[in-house]
Amino acid sequence: MSSTLFDLTGKVALITGSSKGIGRAIAEEMARHGAQVVISSRKADVCQEVADAINQELADEAGGATVIPAHIGRKEDLQELVDKTRAALGKIDILVCNAAVNPYYGSMRDLPDEAFDKILGVNIKSNHWLANMVLPEMVERKDGAIIIVSSVGGMKGSSVLGAYCISKAADVQMVRNLAVEYGQHNIRVNSISPGLVRTDFARALWENPDILQARTEGDPLQRIGEPREIAGAAVYLASAAGSFTTGQNIVVDGGSTIT
């Protein structure tokens, strides 16, 4: 007996920051489950490599990938991303806001205003813009799923990643607000908070074996996570399996936040 609980066939998923890391893994897994995915980041050539790999793997399957580059810090780029997605694929059923930045590491006391503005603008405002660009069609269709990739950093304090953690906490609150506002239209809005995952974004925390051991030895699973392990949560939230889940923050962190 087969199950369609996690089936995304016929769905269109727009995924920002999907040329590498967690975003790429989400795109790959959603495509494997039948979705047509939009690969988007600033660099078109890198996006194309990812899309080509997906399309080659799934040549005879339902899922596939399309490239539409965009700079998420520019509102006009995001509107063009949404418009081009609709023109190419007809609709947007799933929005995954994954792209984020952190140009500063250090004390909040020394945080430059321009860095603070960039972190809040890219990590919060761009998600707000994108959500409001796709929500009208979801309301009309009475169906849709929005997923924001947050972080366990948004759940605790930090002496060196303060602004980034603030932005990720705000993303989780944005999810709650949107879930309350749009639940009446059968739109689910959730976030995923990964712990330490093997991505370029977190390379400084795992590239050195000693640093990695110190960072993970107190966690119940005592290891770093892999991007695909985050992607599974995204597939759940986007599919029928997650149709009664909204306004939630799913923590995928190897247990780091419980110890």
* For the chain, the helix, strand and coil percentages under 3-state DSSP, each to the nearest 5: 50, 15, 35
Catalytic residue ranges: 164
Closest alpha carbon to 134 in 73, 192, 78, 194: 78
- Please answer whether residues 131 and 146 qualify as being in contact, where contact means their C-beta atoms are separated by less than 8 angstroms: yes
Closest alpha carbon to 230 in 166, 127, 155, 149: 149
Non-local CB neighbours of 140 within 8 Å, separated by 6+ positions: none
Helix (H, G, I), strand (E, B) or coil at 180: helix
Measured between its terminal Cα atoms, the distance across the chain in Å is 40
